[in-house]
Structure 1
Amino acid sequence: MDFKFIYDKRLGIEIPHLYKDWDEYTFSTQTEILLRWEQNRGSIPDRIADLEVQINQKQAALNNEENFPKSCELNSDISELASIINDLWIWYRINQNVTDKVHQ
């Protein structure tokens, strides 16, 4: 197989892993990849919403936390969740460009 989708534990979604440049794939294979990606891509907004809930919970806990080491841990957790959200949006946008190229 010239491609596969690999579950990214950090992002919580499967992402495409291509073994060739996009233009080297046949139209049929590009279509197959895109259909699978669109299913995964469609779950990104829900995944982001779940992470935002977690951030809000941690921010609420941080507002009431008096233990400095624990507040540092909460801050670190919030930063990591925000970083995951940023990476998910990048995947969401970058791969939209590939979809647009194929539909042209």
Structure 2
Amino acid sequence: MNQYFKYDKRLKIFLPHLNVNWNQYNLETQNKIVEKWEQIRGGIPDRIHDLEEQINQKQAELNQEDDFNKSCQLNEDIANLASIINDLWIWFRTTQSITKTHT
């Protein structure tokens, strides 16, 4: 199954990485890909929860920070984490409709 997924360092999850059009895979392979993706996809809310905790920690630090440069860095870190969360939600929702269409 690893040939159908590629690890995304930024999101820290495996994402589908298909080399050919979905319909070119036989039904058995499609089902295996979908099954594996559903396992990965099921972990996305936990990953998002962890990132939200990191954001909360950084916001707490930001509330106490007096150094402007450090405040800017914390704001950048928060924005990056929020961007990752957004991308994870997109993957979580988008693929749900794809798997319903192709299974």
Same fold (TM over 0.5): yes
1:4 Cα offset (Å): 2.1
Structure 2 residue 5 is the aligned partner of structure 1 residue 5: yes
Structure 2 residue 8 is the aligned partner of structure 1 residue 21: no
| RMSD value, Cα | 1.2
2:38 & 2:47 partners in 1: Cα distance? 14
Structure 2 residue 53 is the aligned partner of structure 1 residue 65: no
Q: Which amino acid aligns with 2:98?
A: V
Alignment-derived partner of residue 30 in structure 2: 30
1:81 & 1:24 partners in 2: Cα distance? 36
| Unpaired segments ≥5 residues, structure 1 | none
How many residues align? The count is 102
Structure 2 residue 50 is the aligned partner of structure 1 residue 50: yes
What do residues 22-42 of structure 1 show as CA deviations (whole Å, max 9, x unaligned)? 122111111010011001000
2:102 & 2:17 partners in 1: Cα distance? 18
1:7 & 1:102 partners in 2: Cα distance? 23
Moved over 3 A (4+): none
Structure 2 residue 101 is the aligned partner of structure 1 residue 101: yes
Question: When the two structures are superposed, what TM-score results if normalisation uses the length of structure 1?
Answer: 0.93
Percent of paired sites with the same residue? 60
Kindly indicate whether structure 1 or structure 2 has the higher relative contact order, using CA contacts under 8 Å at least 6 residues apart: 2
